[in-house]
Each structure stands twice: as structure tokens, then as C-alpha cells.
Structure 1
Amino acid sequence: MYRICVIPGDGIGQEVIPASVAVLKALPLSFSFVDADAGWECFQRRGVSVPDETLAEIRSSHAALFGAVSSPMGKVQGYKSAVVTMRQQLDLYVNLRPVISLPIASARQGVNMIIVRENTEGLYAGQEERLPDRAIARRVITVRGSERILRYAFELARRQQRRKVTIVHKANILKETCGLFRDIGLCIAGEYPDITTEEMLVDTAAMRLITDAEKFDVLVTTNLFGDILSDEASALVGGLGLAPSGNIGEQAAIFEPVHGSAPDIAGKGIANPLAAILAAAMMLDHLGEPAQAGHVRQAVCSVLMQGVLTPDLGGTASTGEVTAAVIAALRR
């Protein structure tokens, strides 16, 4: 039996995560689901965005499903992003975002890449200060952090029989931080002669995602660059409503839709559950259930081809109707 920690979070997370759980329950697998609390609403109730017991539940589970989190734009005393907290406290150093064409009119066909993003340091390390006349953020790039994310990308490429890894950086300007990441990447690349390696400046990569997305295979980069590029890339294949992600470490893993909490539509029953359902499929791969993961993805594709779509994709279906259609497709 797989023990899964379920963290709906804020906003539409409370609608799409139950949808993904319903899909998992329709599979011929045994699950135990344990609910846990995290997010902005949790902070408002309890004074902490991720309680210690939530971290303990994640550690004691085979994996976790997380919905979305709302974060205030301004500084709030005592608040720290729930997502960043979980990534750092659990050392979830890999952020994995597949970008794969789906059978929908808004998706560009022929795209099949994985963006591998360092998930615990860089400009998201949380080392910022406000001075009277300026604000300063430290960009932390370490040897350990770079080595393990770059090696993960090459191992992933080899495991999935992918042919190329693109190392994305800005070493022409950020000569120390990106320079370190680049140097380590090129050194590790030498250990994988069966995989083609290329390096690319981040601004060039942003352009090439628009002009030549089909030519990317595995793309590996630092935290902020990966965050921006993966959101950009999701627009190629249907948008954030179809974009799943995984946060993976040595001892824990959390899978989530890429989209945010969408407070403008929360509670209306029209949130697109497919990103959360595809995140559950990623979780199944992680658990060593690739056949069941494939069944879930096939069911999602079937629903898209049937035209059962939520408003963000141009349809009129509700969250519940899309979820029911996926479950029906699984049972056919």
C-alpha cells in the first residue's frame, strides 16, 4: 500500500487535488491518503505556513500531492512561502517539469522536453535584505547543488534514452555564479559520452523555446531561470492548466500542478484539474508504477480529444465533469 500525503493548500488547490485523488482511487492500486495542512490560509490560522507535523507526514509517506499556495506580494512578518519551505526543509533539490505536446488545438505539436531545475538555492535561497536606499539579494550557487542537479539531468537523459542535454546559464555576465554552474556541467558532461551536450545563454534559450522548441530534449538550469523558462514552455503545450511538476529529493517527493491558487475562480467549480491529475501520473512514475502512470496520461489525452474542457481551455465543463470524464476513460 502506498501512503500518500495530501496537501490541498490554498484556492483552487482545494478543488484540483481532490480530483487527482479521485483518479488515483479509480486505479487498481492500494493507497492510504493522509491529509496535511500548508499555505497562506494555514499561516493565517496557525502562524506558520508549513507546520512541523506536515513535514513529518511528508517524510513518512511514499510521496505527497500538493495543490497551490497563495502568497502576499508584500512582506508579512513571520511568513515564508510554503512551497519554498517544503523544498528547503525536505531538500527537494530537483524540480522536474515535463513539457510534452497534448492533443488540443492550443498545443504546439512535436514538443517533448523535460526541464530540470535546481530547486533549493540560487536567488530563491532567501538571502535578502532591505537597506535605506537599496535592496540586496544573494544568489547562492554551490558546488554540491550544481553537481547533483546536473548529474540528475544526465542520468535522467540516459534512463529515458534521450539524446541531448542543454545546460542553460548566463556565464557571460554572471561569471562567478553561472560560471561555476557551467564549469561543473561541462565537466560532468564528459562522463556521458553517449549524450550530446550543448550550452546556451538563458536569453537565447527563452527565444529558442519560441522558435525551435522541438529541438530541446533535456534542459537543465538554475532555480530562477528554470522557473521562468518552464512557465514559458508550458504555454507551448496548452498552458499552466495542463502543466505538472515534481519536487524530488533523496528522502521525499512532492508532486503538484504548476499553476497557482487562482483566487479569482476559487470555489466556482471551473478549475482545470488536469495539471493535478498529470502530477499524480508523475507521482506514479516515481513510485515505480509506469504502466498506471501511462493509463492516466492516456485517459487525459482521451478527454482532451473528446473536447471535455474547462473554461481556461475554451470549454464549459466543470472541474467535476472533467474529473469524471478522466475516470470514465480509465475504466473503458
Structure 2
Amino acid sequence: MSPGRRRYDEEDVRVRPNPRGSRPRSKERPRHEDAVLGRVTAVDRGRYTTLVRAGDQPRTVLAMKARELARKGVVVGDQVALVGDTSGAVDTLARIVRIEERESVLRRTADDTDPVERVIVANADQLVVVTALINPQPRPRLIDRCLVAAYDAGLDPLLVLTKSDLADPEDFLRDYTPLEVPYVVTSSKTPGGFTGLDQVRARLHDRVSVFVGHSGVGKSTLVNALVPSADRATGQVNDVTGRGRHTSTSAVALALPDGGWVVDTPGIRSFGLAHVDLARIITHFPDLEPGTADCPRGCTHDEEECALDAWVAAGRAGPAGASRLDSLRRLLRARGQQSED
């Protein structure tokens, strides 16, 4: 050590009494006991429109998701707890700090090979499948998929048939009447006004109903008739392709004037069921499931030994048995391909 340089020892080390960041992190999270409850009615780029009940005067509150929710998804229909500025005033923003337990979740995937499921809506109790009788033509396979998704989510199904002024619903109903799926026949073009609208209202009263259907079936027209203030965009069917143009771009929950909610969703062209267990699919075909009692052990219901062929041939599945069995096997094949990947 060179002359004149002092040796340092432990007494020269200064210890800050309360260094910043030395406090142990608590595992306890704020309980937000002062949070108010709201229902998510729309989602748009990280901003959530919620409806907060304050006596007889509900108010709309715009909110963002709090950091503590991390990657938890918030969807239309969710009941959430809000803190911060919940006045609903212009240019204010509340925080969603908690998602209440969901009573039901309606899901779908992009296709039957997509492992990523998408939650469409939470806390609904009815799935309304809207289909036109013509222009565009009904798509029974898509309808079957929607019914499977409804049963799997614990929702009651309802078929709403539109454009009955252009086609007789009898042929279509022949395939679905044996399933005892409730239905309403409607038309917005009859001289006497919108026929069937009162029956639809009765089915929706005091319920949370999700409307699904492919583009061009008249879903937005029906929603506008049920909720006059909705102002949902409507479109025309392409004369060449027979397909409708997407007019609804996001799901939105709309309060019905006489009680209940309608959740209008964008038009769909596919309804993947990758999230539905293969073993449960047959349970959602109540006209076919009894016929599996005579199937051999481990039957996939898509093989020569399957007893469903004899069940259908004997007419025990009803007049639509053959087409329903074909629909079932298409679903099983698509899902089976996913399980083998």
C-alpha cells in the first residue's frame, strides 16, 4: 500500500436506514370494497363500456382493465367491479379491478383445428340462431354447430327464421321439429308489418340472449326492430356469391325496452368446436344418442359397426335422421383430425 493512502474498514461503509425498495412486497391485494358493479356492454380496443346501476337511473361508464387483472380477458356480458371515477362524465375513465364469477360462457374457435378458443359472451342464458329461409340459403351444418355450442355452454337454443315472405318454412322445420328446438317464424316485408316480432319479444323477455347467424340473414334488421335505438347497420346479400356483407364488427349488449338483453354479434361464416370434448358431441344430438346403446365398445360413431346406421334406417331418428347423422359424422371427423395432429 502506497504511503499516505488510508486503509478502509467496515466503519467507513454507510448503510442507509431505509433504502428504497427494501420493503418486502406484500402478497395481499387491495380488496376494493368500495368498488361498484357494472355490466360490460361493449369492448373496443382496450376500452370497456359498462352499465352501472344507480337506483332507477343507470349510467354508462367507460373503463380500462387494471394491471392486477394481467391477461384475464373481459368480454361483453361480464359483471365487473369498478373503481376510480365511475361518474360516467365525459373524458373520465374508471378501472376494472375484478371480474365476477361467470354463470355461463359461450365459446367458439376459428375452425375445428384451432386450439385457441374465443369467448363470445359471458353470463348469457339463451342462444338465438338467426337464419334466413332463402337468400341466403339455410346452412343446416352451421346451425347444428351452433346448437352443439349452446348445449355445451348450458344455454337454451332458439331458432328465428327470417324472410318467410320469400319461402315456406315447412321444409326447413321438417328437420328440426323432431328435436323440439323452439322456433319463431318472422318476416320484415309483409304488408301488415314485421310478423313474428311479438313472439320473439316474448321469448327474449327478462333473458340474456346472444344472437348469432351468418351475414345477410337479417339479424341486424331484427335487432333494430327489437331495440329501436340500436341503429345496427344492415347490409344486402351479394347476388353472385349468395353471401351477405359483414355489417356488425363487434359484439354489443343492448337492453330490451321491456326487460332483458340482446347481445348482437358479428356475422359468422364458421363456428369451430375445437373446445368441445369429442365424447360429449353425441350428447348434443338427442335424436341420435339413444341409438348408440347398441354400438360396440369404443365405437367412434363413424365406422361400419356403428349402430346409428340401423337406428336411422329404421326411422327412429325422425325424417331428418340421415342428414343429422351426416352432420354428426362431419363434426366427429373434423374434431378427430384435430386430436390426431
Fold equivalence (TM over 0.5): no
For CA contacts below 8 A with separation 6 or more, give which structure has more relative contact order. 1
TM-score normalised per structure 2:
0.29
Higher helix fraction (1 or 2): 1
TM-score normalised per structure 1:
0.29
Which structure would you say has the larger Rg?
Answer: 2
